[in-house]
Amino acid sequence: MRRTDAGLSTRLLVAQALVLLAGAATSWVVASLVAPGIFHDHLVEAGVGHSSAEAAHVEEAFDSALIISMAVALLTSVLMALMATGYFTRRVQRSTTHVSHAASRIAEGQFGARVPSPGLGPEFDQLATTINDLAERLGDVEGTRRRILADLAHEMRTPLATIEAHLEALEDGVRTLDEPTLAALHGGTQRLQRLAEDISAVSRAEEGQLDSRPVRTNPQLLLESAAAAAQDAYDSGQVRLSVEASGGVPQVQVDPERMGQVLANLLENALRHTPPGGCVRLSATRPDSHWVELDVADSGEGIAPEHLHHVFERFYRADPARRRPAGGSGSGIGLTISRALVEAHGGGLSARSAGAGHGATFTIRLPAALGR
């Protein structure tokens, strides 16, 4: 036969019973050894002779009464204690069973499982809260994972379809391997490569695994370097790019390469949503003594209020029906990467807009590097 181990409640009950029985036996032995001698001494002090039949009868009566009363009292106390212990152990068993079942359901992927409060004190309540928080976080992670996979499948479909269509055209002899065909094939592969690189970058940034070498840096130099790198693209798009001079702004402790990547993503996003003839302005301000803000403000399409809280989500589009420009290098997670990089520097990235058609402003908020 298979041996089954006793559960926690059974072990608690057995252990408590052993303790109670040991206590009762100890009380019995001590009372049996000590009480008759004390009673006899009191009889002697009371003037009852040691050899008299009356004294012997009294002592015998005392011994009988002691035995009976001790037996009844100890038995009653042991039974009451065992009943209380049994009630408590059953409650503990129910609570641990709830936790065990909830953990099993969570392990099976049922992240909606929750542990009710057992009502056994703050320690058990904290355990239930921890299990519930774990389930909620795992549910969020699973939801994010599924959304990322769905988004990746959607984002990969366009470049893969383009590559496949051109290869089939080449096989059928409809197209020749000329420069436009090669450019289309290279564009599709580059977009897939950029997508893979960006997914890896945002994952490492959110997990705090990106290599970073922060140094004290002048915010104005960051803006000027980013503007210089983007100037050709802005000239081609006929969008004016300007950097406002600012004084009295303290330095920031950042990795210039990573912060340049953030500004490049924001400038690319601003150019994508600003029509020819528009303008994009870069500026640095000091809202208080502890923070520095870098603004990227455009005069483009703007963002409706209901979309502001979603612009940093992976692959989010305010208008799902609109595709990205053909040949564009954006992977759809540039803003997500930017936010993760800024938060890795101890800051934050936010967006504001007066609505559609009124432009948008993205603000990088960084801790000021004070002192030497």
Q: Are residues 163 and 137 in the same domain?
A: yes
Residues in the chain: 372
In a domain, 116, yes or no: no
Token code pair at residue 175: 């197209």
Q: How far apart are CA 115 and CA 108, in angstroms?
A: 15
Q: How far apart are CA 5 and CA 317, in angstroms?
A: 57
Res 245 pLDDT > 60: yes
Amino acid at 39: F
- pLDDT value at position 216? 92
Give the lowest-confidence range in 11-25, 180-194, 307-321.
307-321
- pLDDT value at position 311? 81
Token code pair at residue 232: 């050709």
In this predicted model, which residue has the larger pLDDT, 173 or 16? Answer: 173
| Residue 311 belongs to domain spanning | 215-367
Mean pLDDT value across residues 241-264: 88
Q: Are residues 171 and 290 in the same domain?
A: no
- pLDDT value at position 327? 38
Res 330 pLDDT > 70: no
Token code pair at residue 2: 């298979």
Angle value at C-alpha 147, between 201 and 302, nearest 5 degrees: 75
CATH number at residue 332: 3.30.565.10
Q: Are residues 348 and 228 in the same domain?
A: yes
- pLDDT value at position 225? 92
- Band (pLDDT 50/70/90 cuts) for residue 231 is very high
Q: Are residues 295 and 351 in the same domain?
A: yes
Q: Are residues 194 and 234 in the same domain?
A: no
349 membership: H or E segment, kind and range: strand 348-352
Q: Are residues 256 and 333 in the same domain?
A: yes
- pLDDT value at position 372? 52
Q: Are residues 174 and 276 in the same domain?
A: no
In a domain, 69, yes or no: yes
Res 11 pLDDT > 60: yes
Half-sphere exposure of 29 (CA within 13 A, CB side): 6
Token code pair at residue 231: 């100037």
Q: Are residues 192 and 265 in the same domain?
A: no
In a domain, 118, yes or no: no
Res 146 pLDDT > 90: no
What is the signed CA dihedral for 148, 153, 157, 158, rounded to 10 degrees? 0
Q: Are residues 22 and 97 in the same domain?
A: yes
For residue 120, CA distances in Å to 10, 40, 131 come to 18, 50, 16
Mean pLDDT value across residues 172-199: 80
- pLDDT value at position 308? 81
In a domain, 1, yes or no: no
Res 58 pLDDT > 70: no
| Chain segment 65-79, per-residue pLDDT in tens | 767 777 777 777 777
In a domain, 336, yes or no: yes
In a domain, 119, yes or no: no
Q: Comparing C-alpha atoms, which of 163, 191, 187, 157 is closest to residue 175?
A: 163
- pLDDT value at position 192? 81
Q: Are residues 202 and 254 in the same domain?
A: no
Q: How many domains does the chain have?
A: 3
Res 318 pLDDT > 80: no
Q: Comparing C-alpha atoms, which of 261, 259, 253, 262 is closest to residue 290?
A: 253
Q: Comparing C-alpha atoms, which of 27, 9, 7, 26 is closest to residue 85?
A: 9
In this predicted model, which residue has the larger pLDDT, 82 or 132? Answer: 132
Q: What is the mean pLDDT of the chain?
A: 77
- Band (pLDDT 50/70/90 cuts) for residue 48 is low
Res 323 pLDDT > 70: no
Q: Are residues 161 and 305 in the same domain?
A: no
End residue of a domain, out of 81, 108, 135: 108
In a domain, 114, yes or no: no
- pLDDT value at position 35? 64
| Chain segment 12-46, per-residue pLDDT in tens | 667 777 777 777 777 767 666 666 666 666 666 66
End residue of a domain, out of 108, 137, 153: 108
Res 195 pLDDT > 90: no
Token code pair at residue 239: 């969008």
End residue of a domain, out of 108, 136, 159: 108
How far out from the chain centre does Cα 17 lie?
44
What percentage of the chain has pLDDT greater than the value 90? 18
Q: Are residues 329 and 279 in the same domain?
A: yes
In a domain, 263, yes or no: yes
Res 141 pLDDT > 60: yes
CATH number at residue 161: 1.10.287.130
Residue with tokens 């050709």: 232
